[in-house]
Structure 1
Amino acid sequence: MPWEGISGLVNLMGTWMTEDDPPVALHDEKAYVATPDRRLVFDSTSQKTLETIRPEGGQPVSTLKRGDRNNAAPPVVTDGSSPLLLAPFVVRQAGTGTQASRTVAELVAADAKTGKVSWRLRLDVADWTKEVTDSLAISDVGASANVAVVTLVKKGSETFSNPSTTYAVDLTTRRVLWTQETFKASVVAGGVVAGTKRKAASDEYSTPTGYDLTTGAERWHDAAEYFNTYLRPAGPDLFYLDARDRAGGKNRLRLVDVRTGQTRQDGVALASRCRYDGVGAVVCWGRDEVTGIDAQTGAPLWRLPDEKAGRVAPRVSSVWHGRVYGKTSNDCIRPRPGVTSWRTGIPSEIDLDQPWSLECRRQGKGRALAAAAGSASPGRR
């Protein structure tokens, strides 16, 4: 794996230092690594970087150097027989003659199999970007039905007021279908783009809102406004909302249907992160609690810790295809079967013959709670 995939995210002990997804997506035998100024196409078979994709419309407003923390979101790979790797960048175009310098966004689409660039599209940016050029970040949120969603934001705390612009791009005609100012998209599912909408860029409060993926028409919006809003995907058609209600000042922790905005489960978990396993479950964790949730109904399946059973909550590192990967203070992780089932929450423990991680080297033989298959995301849609 190229160093960019873990830059600034792993300490000298080998411990992952963030709860966010790594800037990596997997598709077939390829791994795609995102940085603010490039995309790397890495072949896991040959262990070689096949292509490095960079913007051509100007100089990137920020770059990643070795040792810098890579806060880029995982790349998006589209569905279909001819999948595309999407790579949005923010660049600064130098002025020429009477034309002043300006900031623009550039969306690059490359063949996911070869990494060769297929096309490039310039995205014009709003006036609010003029004063914060060095603090801009852009990410691809998702893609469905040949429409990709890209969001441009001012870097900073995602739960506080930061300006944002969301674009929906037709990948066939290569044109912008719609834009929405003061809207930060987070999820694409069921023909709907869900995220947080502010009345103004400087507004501290936001409202969860859903827009039609193709037309940009509003499909639904929450009846309340929230502060410290955290909204993330939590299943094929769900998102997880952690926010403080403006009216009552109470935190709302709930699972919401992306397509309708209706709450599927309220107060389902005390969590800071939720991950869909790609099959049938969502696992939420944080605040010393881990909860398994049915991805279709939103109903809780199990919770840890379980004092009656004498079981503690693990520190979750990843969730994938029916398995929860993680560790406790007593257990090492290891790339072998021996996992916590998402449906029961019961670990299938195995003896470790050889330590695997840097942390485990200090502990010698132990008990494995989960296999470490890596925490990279599959190609997001």
Structure 2
Amino acid sequence: MRRTLVIVTCLAAVTAAGCGGTDGKPEPVPSAAGSAAPAAPATPEAKTADPPTAFDAGAAVTLPAGALSSNVAGNVTSTFLTLRDRTGYLVGPTAMNAVDVLTGKEIWTVPVEREPGDPNNQRGPFVNTTGPRPPAVTDRLAAAAVPVVMPEKGTTPAFIALSVVAADPEKGVKAWQADIKVSEDQYADAGNAVTQVVAITDKAVIARYSRQDEEHVTVALDPASGKTLWERKDYDAGSVHGDILVGTDYNVAENSSMTQATAVDLATGQQKWVGAGRSSGLTDIPADPALVVLTRTDYGSGDSSLLFLDSATGAEKLKLDGEKSFGSLPYGDCFYDQQSVLVCQSDGVLTGYDAKTAGKLWSLPDQAANRVAPGLTVVWHGALYGVTQGGQPIVLDAKTGKDLSVDNVGAAPVLVSKYAGITYDKQRNAPVAYPVEK
């Protein structure tokens, strides 16, 4: 089966205080004795650190079950939550929600007004890495994508659609919902589909629908109204680089079993360049806008590699070979710290790269220094989070690879903000948020 390209806050409320009564007369002044009701005690401010180097393991907050999924070992296999400051934005088959991760309380919910296309995706006993990807969130908009079933109408049969729901990220007021037909087969279903809002920009909201080798659809929507700007079939959106969108293209003239990276204009969908040809699988890694970073499987040999392409032209700037194999092993896992560093773990080797230039920064293991590579869970704002070979949480400096915090780290999160780290707690059998300790 092909691997498709995927590309991975406490919002302050502003209130205005009135200066006078509604009839234009001044408001009465309280007496010196203070007849007004006493103000409620202020909630203590949460600890913050950017990046955090330790979490309070004794103050874990249980989050909704739909935030993460894990295997029997407690390892996170899928995330359905985007963390911004202390707000978690979740997507499920029937709604998009926001929750305060430091209290576990729901802030708002926005329903998807259609019948879910894959309602039981994460309910089975086995690991399933398909399903909706976490919402995309900006200061102006939060948006998520799920498959839905559009009902039959007269002699027109029912069909599967990609439903994109958008809302105000602070108040949860629904902005719009767009339903885009993704299958011409009236008997098709959305089982094991991957749906995602890849990016939100001032020009377009980019969303994708992918189901095994059957359907691949990318759509660009107007951010204000949800109106379709353009649609491209046999194409999975991956990452946005300024005014360019790069994705996996399944429409390859040389061989229908091949894939390639194709860049299109974000606003119009017009093709700009083609790269990473003769591939059998591509996975997009978010990184600095200057570079397109892909893990690639070669169509002929099955060997994997890590590619760095110029985002403006598609020209190859660096290629790193992965583990040789007779099959199609992926290169490994790569994480962008959202600032300047890309960290990849492949074949037991952990390496840091400059996210803008692809220059190598450091690598572990380092036999000369008697240092081994930890297991990587996430990288954020210059810090690398993971576990030692003995299973203890650890934090490294993502720019140098040096130990940053080794004692009483508290957790090895898969999602991080300046307020909390989130992972799966096997003892609680639930996703949890650990407040920042320092």
Which TM-score band (shorter chain)?
0.7 to 0.9
1:280-299 pair list within 5 angstroms: 280-299=340-359
- Residue 120 (1) aligns with residue 177 (2): yes
- State how far apart, in whole Å, the 2-side matches of 1:129 and 1:251 are: 37
| Aligned 8 A contact 1:170 1:176 in 2 | yes
- State how far apart, in whole Å, the 2-side matches of 1:104 and 1:175 are: 15
1:149-168 pair list within 5 angstroms: 149-154=206-211, 156=212, 161-168=213-220
Shift, 1:269, TM fit: 6.9
Q: Deviations over 1:70-103 (max 9, x none)?
A: 743121013x4xx211022221133244342222
| Aligned 8 A contact 2:117 2:160 in 1 | no
Aligned partner (choices 222, 226, 234) of residue 174 of structure 1: 226
Shift, 1:135, TM fit: 4.0
| Aligned 8 A contact 2:337 2:383 in 1 | yes
Shift, 1:282, TM fit: 0.7
Shift, 1:132, TM fit: 4.1
Shift, 1:34, TM fit: 2.0
Larger radius of gyration: 2
- Residue 187 (1) aligns with residue 247 (2): no
Q: Deviations over 1:328-357 (max 9, x none)?
A: 222511xxxx621111111134433xx846
- State how far apart, in whole Å, the 2-side matches of 1:280 and 1:29 are: 23
Q: Which residue of 2 aligns with 1:316?
A: 376
Mean Cα displacement is larger for which, 39-48 or 201-210?
A: 201-210
Q: Which residue of 2 aligns with 1:340?
A: 396
Structure 1 counterpart of 2:267, one-letter code = T
- State how far apart, in whole Å, the 2-side matches of 1:4 and 1:176 are: 29
Mean Cα displacement is larger for which, 106-115 or 127-136?
A: 127-136
Percent of residue pairs identical: 27
Q: Which residue of 2 aligns with 1:364?
A: none
- State how far apart, in whole Å, the 1-side matches of 2:206 and 2:366 are: 40
Query: Residue 351 of structure 1 aligns to a residue in which SS?
Result: coil
Shift, 1:314, TM fit: 0.9
Query: Residue 4 of structure 1 aligns to a residue in which SS?
Result: helix
1:19-58 pair list within 5 angstroms: 22-58=79-115
Structure 2 counterpart of 1:244, one-letter code = T
- Structure 1 331/129 Cα, relative in aligned 2: closer, same or farther at 3 Å? same
Query: Residue 134 of structure 1 aligns to a residue in which SS?
Result: coil
- State how far apart, in whole Å, the 2-side matches of 1:289 and 1:105 are: 39
| Aligned 8 A contact 1:316 1:326 in 2 | yes
Structure 1 unaligned segments of length 5 or more: list them. Answer: 359-371, 377-381
- Structure 1 2/110 Cα, relative in aligned 2: closer, same or farther at 3 Å? same
Shift, 1:248, TM fit: 6.4
- Residue 138 (1) aligns with residue 195 (2): yes
| Aligned 8 A contact 1:4 1:66 in 2 | no
| Aligned 8 A contact 2:93 2:116 in 1 | no
Q: Which residue of 2 aligns with 1:361?
A: none
Shift, 1:319, TM fit: 0.3
Shift, 1:123, TM fit: 1.4
Query: Residue 191 of structure 2 aligns to a residue in which SS?
Result: helix
- Structure 1 291/128 Cα, relative in aligned 2: closer, same or farther at 3 Å? farther
Structure 2 counterpart of 1:23, one-letter code = F
Shift, 1:67, TM fit: 6.5
Q: Which residue of 2 aligns with 1:16?
A: 75
Structure 2 counterpart of 1:345, one-letter code = G
- Residue 351 (1) aligns with residue 407 (2): yes
- Structure 1 95/67 Cα, relative in aligned 2: closer, same or farther at 3 Å? closer
- Structure 1 128/342 Cα, relative in aligned 2: closer, same or farther at 3 Å? farther
Q: Deviations over 1:110-159 (max 9, x none)?
A: 110022212112212242575344343321111222411111111x4xxx
Shift, 1:375, TM fit: 6.1
Q: Deviations over 1:192-217 (max 9, x none)?
A: 11111122799321011111100111
Structure 2 counterpart of 1:290, one-letter code = L
Shift, 1:238, TM fit: 2.8
What count of residue pairs does the alignment treat as equivalent?
344
| Aligned 8 A contact 1:2 1:49 in 2 | no
Q: Which residue of 1 aligns with 2:49?
A: none
| Aligned 8 A contact 2:160 2:188 in 1 | no
- Structure 1 17/167 Cα, relative in aligned 2: closer, same or farther at 3 Å? same
CA RMSD of aligned residues (A): 2.9
Shift, 1:289, TM fit: 1.0
Q: Which residue of 2 aligns with 1:102?
A: 159
- State how far apart, in whole Å, the 2-side matches of 1:61 and 1:28 are: 30
Q: Which has the higher contact order (CA 8 A, sep 6+)?
A: 2
- Structure 1 43/283 Cα, relative in aligned 2: closer, same or farther at 3 Å? same
- Structure 1 88/307 Cα, relative in aligned 2: closer, same or farther at 3 Å? same
Query: Residue 329 of structure 1 aligns to a residue in which SS?
Result: coil
Structure 2 unaligned segments of length 5 or more: list them. Answer: 1-62, 324-330, 413-419, 425-438
| Structure 2 length-normalised TM | 0.71
- Residue 327 (1) aligns with residue 387 (2): yes
Query: Residue 109 of structure 2 aligns to a residue in which SS?
Result: strand
Q: Deviations over 1:199-251 (max 9, x none)?
A: 27993210111111001111110162211333322334433322233466653
- Structure 1 24/279 Cα, relative in aligned 2: closer, same or farther at 3 Å? same
Structure 2 counterpart of 1:111, one-letter code = D
Shift, 1:10, TM fit: 5.3
Query: Residue 215 of structure 1 aligns to a residue in which SS?
Result: coil
